[in-house]
Chain A
Amino acid sequence: MKIIVLMKQVANKDAILRINRDATWIEEGDLSFEVNESDGYALEESLRLKEKHGGEVVVCTMGAQRAKSVIKDALARGADRAIHVVKDDLLNLTPYAGAKILAEAIRGEQPDLVMTGLQSDDNGFAQTGVILAELLGLPHATIVIEVDASGEQLRVKRELESGWYQWYTMPKPALLTIQSGISQIRYATLKGIMAAKKKEIKEVAPAATDPAAPSQRVTKVYFPQKTKQTQFLGDGNAKAGAAQLAEKLRSEARVF
């Protein structure tokens, strides 16, 4: 089974975000980056499927050269090779335009399965995978929390709201967007890191996108307006804040 797993590099979750001068995006200069959370789970699930059913796992990343760290890490964990669509600026790329570029980058691979995370932690469009499936003519399922690839058809468990689930059956090839928590993510071993050095990373240029105006464009980014009057306690002093909070919980909130 040939599995292509799409992985995106995003700003580190613990980063304190600041808005850039033009208010068009965040200030990226001093940020560190990491792999998008659910993409890490998509890779893990792909590796497990390969271990069970044989085949190959190909990582595909679109992004600047710094995104190589995502690829190298995936190869160290056990992916077999990688496709890097080198594109410096993803900022004004709509989900449709991005999916189009990715579709052209992987179309020739004829995968049995395409796996993505269910959304990126930065833009959070939650669309790239589904649009990609449509462009490649594949059936898809989103928010997938379990995959059974042992039969002729794929059987996948989808998460619904409020603790409900549902199984779907569909033919292969297919595209799945993976929910975080589907399995426990392995660490790269030293052996894996050494082996990764010999693995192929193919760089490709992005296919030309439509010159037509994009269907959506970010005009401004800003911190949300606060809607609730929060009483901030301690004024930077954690211990003082804790003491005040205990008192408020008793006298105002009356929880004890």
Chain B
Amino acid sequence: MPNGIIIFTEHRDGAFNKASFEAVAAGQQLGATLGQPVSAVVLSADANVAQGLADYKLDRVVSVENAKLSEYTPDGYADALESAVRALDPAYVLMPHTYLVRDFAPKLAARFGKDVISDCVRASVDGGAVTFSRRIFLGKIDADVVESMPVEVGEVRMKPEAPFQEVKAAVDLSKAEVIVAIGRGIKGQDNIQLAQQLADALGAELAASRPICDAGWLPIDRQIGSSGQTVAPKLYVALGISGAIQHLVGMKNARTIVAVNKDPEAPIFDIADYGIVGDLFEVVPTLVEEIKKLKG
């Protein structure tokens, strides 16, 4: 009988990321509710890395070791975790929803004839049956023991080079106090000047969601979100942005968030302090005028 919960934790050169601790918290909660043991697994070439989780309250920490795990590859990680999962035989495998996990987790699941319930925000338990709600989680937790598990890793077909950042961004939006951001609702490149007028009136930097940068309407260093910049200005005005999770993670810590969107159900309103349900092409010109008036 499969039993227990194992949590895959992600690290780079021994530094665990925040999403991994969120997954640990989620696993801890689920384990408590189900009355099942909770373990963390750490993939590495170096047994010491797993020590990084020693202070977290877990039933055990398993260090899954092989020289080929010194850098991430989907082949290496899928092989190693497959061995670990077969040996530990858990009921649930939990992972942080990161770009790295997106890259190998479906491959791992496929080896068990399954797929992943990706992007979870909630797990609710009813009579031993777990219902997962999809999207992401937050929290904190602790552990006790570390045990070591050397694994076989087969042929690794992909060779990674060192990660790098593109030439330093020309604009550092993380310093901006006020940001006016545009999304696909801006419709055309010619309309950007409208947002620029608002930015000028507020003394703001212009930023954008991904599709605007994908289309080349604004340079990529103005993209906000999981692949772009993370900002926390005093004011963030989102014009015609729906509020996909990959965008929200880049701006949710703004002190005041304003959203203008014609769809009342747009998820951006879930984090907005002020919202206007309406056409940005009607809202923005009036807003510019009124701000100018108030500023005198």
* Chain A residues engaging chain B, CB cutoff 8 angstroms: 13, 16-17, 37, 41, 94-96, 99, 124-128, 130-131, 133-135, 139-143, 158-171, 180-181, 184, 210, 212, 215-216, 219, 223-224, 226-228, 230-234, 236-239, 241-243, 245-250, 253, 255-256
- Tell me the B246-296 residues at the A interface (CB within 8 Å): 255-256, 258-259, 263, 265, 267, 269-279, 282-284, 286-287, 290-291, 293-295
Q: Which residues of B contact A159 (CB under 8 A)?
A: 99, 227
Known interface pairs A135-B110, A181-B210, A245-B258; A228-B271 also in contact (CB < 8 Å)? yes
Instruction: Check B109–A230 contact: CB distance below 8 A.
Output: no
Q: Which residues of A contact B109 (CB under 8 A)?
A: 96, 127, 131, 215
Q: How far is B177's CA from A84's CA once the two chains are assembled, in angstroms?
A: 51
Q: Which residues of A contact B211 (CB under 8 A)?
A: 37, 180
**Cβ contact of A168, chosen from B107, B115, B158, B184, cutoff 8 A:** B158
* Chain B residues engaging chain A, CB cutoff 8 angstroms: 73-75, 78, 98-100, 102-107, 109-111, 113-119, 131, 134-135, 157-166, 169, 177-178, 184, 202-203, 210-211, 213-216, 220, 226-230, 234-235, 255-256, 258-259, 263, 265, 267, 269-279, 282-284, 286-287, 290-291, 293-295
Instruction: Check A219–B131 contact: CB distance below 8 A.
Output: yes
CB distance from A225 to the nearest CB of B (A): 9
Q: Which residues of A contact B134 (CB under 8 A)?
A: 124
Cβ contacts A to B, 23 pairs, < 8 Å: A13-B184, A17-B265, A37-B211, A124-B119, A126-B106, A127-B106, A130-B106, A160-B100, A162-B228, A164-B165, A165-B163, A165-B166, A168-B158, A180-B210, A184-B215, A216-B117, A226-B270, A231-B273, A241-B278, A242-B282, A245-B258, A253-B256, A255-B178
Q: Which residues of A contact B265 (CB under 8 A)?
A: 16-17, 223
Instruction: Check A140–B290 contact: CB distance below 8 A.
Output: no
Q: How far is B105's CA from A140's CA once the two chains are assembled, in angstroms?
A: 12
Instruction: Check B118–A255 contact: CB distance below 8 A.
Output: no
Q: Which residues of B contact A210 (CB under 8 A)?
A: 113
Instruction: Check B227–A162 contact: CB distance below 8 A.
Output: yes
Q: How far is B157's CA from A13's CA once the two chains are assembled, in angstroms?
A: 37
Q: How far is B99's CA from A211's CA once the two chains are assembled, in angstroms?
A: 32
Instruction: Check A236–B277 contact: CB distance below 8 A.
Output: yes
CB distance from A180 to the nearest CB of B (A): 5
Known interface pairs A140-B74, A164-B164; A239-B282 also in contact (CB < 8 Å)? yes
Q: Which residues of B contact A163 (CB under 8 A)?
A: 165-166, 169, 227-229
**Most chain B Cβ neighbours within 10 Å, of A127, A133, A143, A236:** A127
Q: Which residues of B contact A134 (CB under 8 A)?
A: 78, 106-107, 110-111
Instruction: Check A127–B274 contact: CB distance below 8 A.
Output: no
**Cβ contact of B110, chosen from A99, A161, A256, cutoff 8 A:** A99
Q: Which residues of A contact B99 (CB under 8 A)?
A: 142-143, 159-161
Instruction: Check A166–B110 contact: CB distance below 8 A.
Output: no
Q: How far is B269's CA from A184's CA once the two chains are assembled, in angstroms?
A: 31
Instruction: Check A230–B118 contact: CB distance below 8 A.
Output: no
Closest to A250 in B: B294
Instruction: Check A238–B157 contact: CB distance below 8 A.
Output: no
Closest to A153 in B: B159
Q: How far is B265's CA from A111's CA once the two chains are assembled, in angstroms?
A: 42
Q: Which residues of B contact A171 (CB under 8 A)?
A: 157
Known interface pairs A13-B184, A253-B235; A170-B158 also in contact (CB < 8 Å)? yes
Q: How far is B269's CA from A223's CA once the two chains are assembled, in angstroms?
A: 12
Q: Which residues of A contact B104 (CB under 8 A)?
A: 130
Q: How far is B287's CA from A243's CA once the two chains are assembled, in angstroms?
A: 6
| Beyond known contacts A37-B211, A139-B75, A165-B165: 19 more, CB 8 A cutoff | A95-B116, A96-B114, A126-B102, A130-B110, A134-B110, A139-B157, A141-B158, A162-B230, A166-B161, A169-B158, A170-B157, A210-B113, A223-B265, A228-B271, A231-B275, A238-B278, A242-B290, A253-B256, A255-B235
Q: Which residues of A contact B106 (CB under 8 A)?
A: 95, 126-128, 130-131, 134
Known interface pairs A133-B107, A236-B277; A126-B165 also in contact (CB < 8 Å)? no
**Cβ contact of A167, chosen from B116, B160, B294, cutoff 8 A:** B160
Q: Which residues of A contact B135 (CB under 8 A)?
A: 224
Q: Which residues of A contact B164 (CB under 8 A)?
A: 164-166
Q: How far is B212's CA from A177's CA once the two chains are assembled, in angstroms?
A: 21
